Structures are given as C-alpha cells and as structure tokens.
Structure 1
Amino acid sequence: MANVMKPSASPLTTAEIAALALSLAHLGSGPQANTARSGLRHAFEHMQLDDEVIATTLSTLTDPMPAPVADRARTIANAITSQLVVRLHYRDVSGRITVRDVDPVTCMVHRDYWYLVGMCRLRRGIRAFRFDRIVATEPTFLPAQPHTADHFLPFQGRRRAMRNERVA
C-alpha cells in the first residue's frame, strides 16, 4: 500500500498548533511521544513560516517539558478542555507571587517560552502567563467564560502591525 499525501485544504491555525504542541509537551519522552513530536516537526517543514519563527519556537514546541512544568501543563490543558477556570499561583517578573483565577483560552509558544493565554479575573483582562513562572495550578469547578482563541493571542497584533509597517 502506497502512502498518498493530499494537499491540505487549509493550514493549521495558531490555536491548533498550540493545542497539538501542548498535548505533546507534557507527554514525556516515551516512544509514542517521540514519534508524535517527529510528526509535528514534519508538519512544520510543510508550512510556510519564516525561518525566524521556526528557529526560535520549533524546539520549544517539540521538546518535553520538565516534569513539574508538565504536571502544571496537564492541569491547564484539562481546564481548557473542560472549559473550567484554573487557579494559578504566579510569580511575576519582580518575584511577587499572586493567586489568580483564569478563564483559560489557549496555550502558545512565543520565542523560547510556553504561555497560558486567558482572561485573568484578578486583573479583569487578557493576560499571557509564562509557564516557567507558574508556581502551582489548581483545578476548580467554576465554569469558564467561552472565548475564541484566535482573538486572544497577544503577540499577533504586534506581528500584523510590523508587517503593515514594512509594506507601507
């Protein structure tokens, strides 16, 4: 039986890539996880992305997370799937730890870091929380407000603005 490759009707969205990569990132390093990561790398080879994006994010997307971070990532992924609020113990850049209830929307990689993107109930606004600054996660039974992931990716606006400046 021959392998047949059909051209994709539409490329993966940023949210789809993030969901696939997050699922792989917290799988560990077993044979299935390694094969799945290889598949994601292969998918990237066939996408039209600029070299800078590939160079700075591909290894972050496809490398296993350290075990404690992977445990927190599982809690976050479950909250996204279940559409439940997740409670974060978050250390900001100054070292202060706050406890925040977040309506999780999606996860993404920007440069070398994983982020949870969601509506922070404490700050009453969209926030991106770096995984390596999340000290602990707690599942809750509070229903999260539904949000569309494509409108919640904080770095997209900057990229679009930069492209428009280059064109002008």
Structure 2
Amino acid sequence: MTNVMKPSTRPLTAAEIAALALSMAHLGSGPQAGAARSGLRHAFEHMELDDDVIATTLATLTEPMPAEIADRARTIADAITSRLVIRLHYQDVSGRVTVRDVDPVTCMVHREYWYLVGMCRMRGAIRAFRFDRIVATEPTFVPARRHRAEGFLPFQGKRAA
C-alpha cells in the first residue's frame, strides 16, 4: 500500500476528533484499532492544547473501553447517528440515579473520561454526561432536535479575538 500525502488545509476540529474517537472506541485491540489510534494521535499533534491535557487524553483514547461501557457507547453512537433521543440512567457524583432523556450531540474525551454531550430535556440545558456514570442506556424512537456540535463542546478555551 502506498502512502498518499495531500497538503492539509486545516487541522481536525474537536467535534471531528470526538466522532472519530467514538467510532474507534469499540474496535478492540485488532490491527485496525492500532492504526486508527495512531492516526488519532497524529491528529492531536496539530492541535493547540496543553501538553498535560494531550497526554492524559491520548492515554484515554488509546485504551479500549471496558466491555460494559463499550456496550453503552455503541447505543449512544447509534442514537447520535440516527438522530434519536437517548434515555440515560445517570448516577451523579453523590450517587443519586436519575433517568434523563437527552438529545445527543457528540461524544468527547477530556483527560481520563469519555463524555456524552447533549441537550438534557430534564434540565433544559446542555450537559456533559460521563460514560462511567451512565448506569444504563435505552434507545428511543423519538427524533432528537438538531444541535451543532461546535456550540456544545465544554473544556474548550475561548481564544482572544
């Protein structure tokens, strides 16, 4: 196979990297997973991020998800792709579990955690749900409202104008 080099016009956006990372999350440890994670590391090299954030985030991206979290991640990815509301059973930091319907927008990794980012219908606001706190997911047949991922990504520093 020949490597083809094409001049890059722009680096990947955070939303594009999040989508690629979620797509890779359930590839396991096969050869495709290794090549995909290598490509993602390459994409991160061109982003202007704090070195500590990059190192921790890359470590999270390059490790396969635990099986039970990967199962929930597939349901979440299907809801994003199908543009359907997803029902989450979510455990907050104090241990309380709530059931929330969410218009899923994107997934992302920040430091050591994966997040689902979307519009929480219970709160009527943008929320980021940590995957390890999602106890269960249920697909629905309710169409999700459309939201642009760029407006929903937390942890992005605001650049000076």
The TM-score with structure 2 as length reference comes to 0.92
Q: CA deviation at 1:48?
A: 4.3
Report if aligned partners of 2:12, 2:43 keep a CA contact under 8 Å in 1.
no
Secondary structure of 2:89's counterpart equals strand
Report if aligned partners of 1:60, 1:113 keep a CA contact under 8 Å in 2.
yes
After superposition, the CA RMSD in angstroms is 1.8
- Percent identity of paired positions between Structure 1 and Structure 2: 80
**Partners in 2 of 1:15 and 1:3 — Cα distance?**
26
For structure 1, the residue ranges without an aligned partner over 5 or more in a row are none
**Partners in 2 of 1:83 and 1:39 — Cα distance?**
27
Aligned counterpart, 1:56? 56
Could you say if the C-alpha distance between residues 6 and 117 of structure 1 is closer, same or farther in structure 2, counting changes exceeding 3 Å? same
Number of corresponding residues: 161
Aligned counterpart, 1:91? 91
The TM-score with structure 1 as length reference comes to 0.88
Q: Find out whether 1:152 has 2:140 as its counterpart.
A: no
**Partners in 2 of 1:86 and 1:94 — Cα distance?**
23
Aligned counterpart, 1:137? 137
Aligned counterpart, 1:45? 45
Secondary structure of 1:12's counterpart equals coil
Report if aligned partners of 1:91, 1:135 keep a CA contact under 8 Å in 2.
yes
For structure 2, the residue ranges without an aligned partner over 5 or more in a row are none
**Partners in 1 of 2:28 and 2:18 — Cα distance?**
17
**Partners in 2 of 1:3 and 1:99 — Cα distance?**
48
2:27 is matched by which residue type in structure 1? Answer: L
Provide, for residues 77-103 of structure 1, a one-character-per-residue CA deviation record: whole Å limited to 9, x for no partner.
010010000000000000000110000
**Partners in 2 of 1:40 and 1:12 — Cα distance?**
10
